[in-house]
Amino acid sequence: MDQAKEPRPPASDDGPLDSYSETVMRVAETVTPHVAAIEMTGNRRNGRFRFGAGSAVLFTEDGYLLTNSHVVAGTHQGHAVFADGSRTELELVGADALSDLAVVRGRAPRVPPAEFGDAESLRVGQLVIAVGNPLGLAGSVTAGVVSGLGRAIPVWASGNRRVIEDVIQTDAALNSGSSGGALADTHSRIVGINTAVAGAGLGLAVPINATTRRIISALLTDGRVRRAYLGVVSTPIRLNASAVVRTGQRDGLRVVEVLAGSPADAAGMLAGDIILTAGNRPVSNAESLQKLLFADAIGQPLQIAVLRDGNEVDLVAVPEEMAGNG
């Protein structure tokens, strides 16, 4: 008679969870030292007062940090505190309201700079980790996945309604104080700068890519970025089969909103249009449009082809310089 076999223990479900946890902990341990809590201040007759607070990411060995433009708006000075307790006074180097990026500088820190990655390599569903100082809680870490890419969000900046282009959407929780913090991939590379400008709890980040590197370089060199402004809120879209045959391209930008009085409005662009080309170049995401809108585009006619009700329509917009930028 065969000996009865002992039942096998149930398979453990801890493996994937442990792997996930280990990844998040490893990234948090690597990235947190590079992220500082910052407080921007100003002077009044009765002393110094706080303008705003958030986070910033150290990206050079000589003390330059990257944060959000809205965090530093209205002032040129402040201080930063790193995770190891070290503190440095800050001065504003430059800000760009359209990308919601700003550079501040303190003294050379004790820690090495963060490593920048490339947000162009991100995919929807990919794990990302956010490090910042939400609600004054230093070194807070949240994790989530990339929910969307190439988003454009309307915001108020310098008293005007503007659009921040090409943002990353994630379900990693962000709150007040998260702005300016790091969004990292699983290799601990910074792929975005978190921004809570659109509202508490909405996970958005400005991507680190070729366009934002160009913006950062301009801020370091000139303290500002001369930007051409079009005034379109858009989202990437995959064209249907008939549109692919008709236009010869697979992707475009669907216009969600045209800001009243903007150059796009003056050109006759409408919500629901699908932007196919700009300047005779295919447009497949917000960055491909944004990189055409630097100083040399200001005041120059820009040919834009859109798909409207199944027909291609040619428009001509004249981008304006963004007022109050920086």
Tell me if 227 sits within 8 A of 321, measured CB to CB.
yes
> Of these residues, 34, 69, 96, 100, which one is catalytic?
100
Residue 56's SS3 state is strand
Tell me if 34 sits within 8 A of 111, measured CB to CB.
yes
> Of these residues, 70, 96, 166, 284, which one is catalytic?
70
220's tokens: 């370091």
Is 21 a known active-site residue?
no
Is 100 a known active-site residue?
yes
> Of these residues, 55, 99, 140, 179, which one is catalytic?
179
Is 217 a known active-site residue?
no
Nearest CA to 120 out of 138, 102, 146 is that of: 146
Nearest CA to 64 out of 99, 113, 31 is that of: 113
Residues 138 and 55: their CA atoms lie apart, in Å, by 9
Q: From start to end of the chain, where are the E strands? A: 35-44, 47-58, 64-67, 77-81, 87-96, 101-105, 127-132, 140-157, 160-170, 182-184, 190-195, 203-207, 228-229, 232-238, 251-258, 274-278, 281-282, 302-308, 311-317, 320-321
94's tokens: 């430059």
Active site residues: 70, 100, 179
